[in-house]
């Protein structure tokens, strides 16, 4: 009677965050705790309590807390995903997506990603030059038909093919974003990277 295969033979090893991703994740968590704690201390001060008095009598602790607060604020000031969290990492079963190219694709860009991964990409819809910039992203992307999925080759090269996109305006001050394409990398069959952008 043949022996049953070992667990390592019968199924692939479980995926987990790399060390640098784990460190970044914990740093974000700690920074949020520090900022929330600072907000609570400020609220306590407004309520008539004086937490600053304790900090001034314990200077070492006070300096540590001040440095932690400043570092946390600086960390998030430059973190786009803090303001636009929907652009960050996302859980999604992306490993088995079928490759597709938008109809009438006339523009292509090559990006470098990890080898043999799926890349999901999308761009705004084409429009006449005189109609640009489109005044909001919702009209610019319409139904997100100008999107596709491509698999990178063994060297990590992925060719994104799409219809030539339009520029559009975003935000309260109508800032114009020039033509570009967004993409996410399928880092693992169940995990999408944050949104990356290539200008055209």
Q: How does pLDDT run across 142-154, given as a tens digit for each residue?
A: 999 999 999 999 9
> CA 64: distance to chain centroid?
30
Instruction: Give start-end residues of each CATH 2.60.40 domain in the chain.
Output: 90-199
Residue 8 is predicted with a pLDDT of: 43
- 133 falls in which pLDDT band (50, 70, 90)? very high
Domain 90-199 class in CATH: mainly beta
Between the ranges 21-35, 78-92, 118-132, where is the mean pLDDT highest? 118-132
Any idea how long the chain is? Answer: 200
Type and span of the H or E element at 123: strand 118-123
Between the ranges 13-27, 40-54, 147-161, where is the mean pLDDT highest? 147-161
Average pLDDT, the chain: 80
Q: What percentage of the chain has pLDDT greater than the value 90? A: 43
- 79 falls in which pLDDT band (50, 70, 90)? low
141: Cα within 13 Å, side-chain hemisphere = 14
* C-alpha to C-alpha distance for 187 and 127, rounded to whole angstroms: 33
Residue 103 is predicted with a pLDDT of: 95
* C-alpha to C-alpha distance for 194 and 129, rounded to whole angstroms: 30
| Of 40, 41, 27, residue with least CA distance to 71 | 27
Q: At what angle do helices 19-46 and 59-77 cross, to 10 degrees?
A: 120
């Amino acid at each position: 009677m043949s022996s049953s295969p070992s667990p390592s033979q019968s199924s692939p090893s479980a995926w987990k965050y790399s060390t640098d991703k784990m460190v970044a994740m914990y740093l974000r968590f700690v920074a949020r705790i520090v900022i929330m704690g600072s907000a609570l201390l400020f609220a306590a001060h407004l309520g008539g309590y004086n937490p600053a008095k304790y900090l001034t009598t314990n200077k070492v602790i006070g300096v540590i807390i001040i440095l932690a607060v400043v570092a946390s604020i600086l960390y998030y000031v430059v973190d786009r995903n803090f303001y636009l969290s929907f652009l960050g990492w996302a859980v999604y079963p992306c490993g088995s997506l079928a490759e597709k190219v938008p109809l009438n694709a006339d523009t292509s860009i090559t990006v470098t990603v990890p080898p043999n991964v799926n890349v999901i990409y999308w761009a705004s819809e084409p429009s006449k030059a005189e109609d640009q910039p489109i005044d909001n992203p919702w009209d610019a992307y319409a139904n997100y038909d100008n999107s596709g999925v491509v698999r990178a080759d063994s060297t990590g090269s992925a060719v994104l093919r799409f219809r030539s996109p339009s520029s559009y305006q975003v935000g309260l001050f109508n800032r114009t974003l020039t033509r570009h394409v967004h993409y996410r990398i399928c880092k693992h069959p169940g995990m999408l990277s944050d949104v990356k952008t290539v200008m055209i």
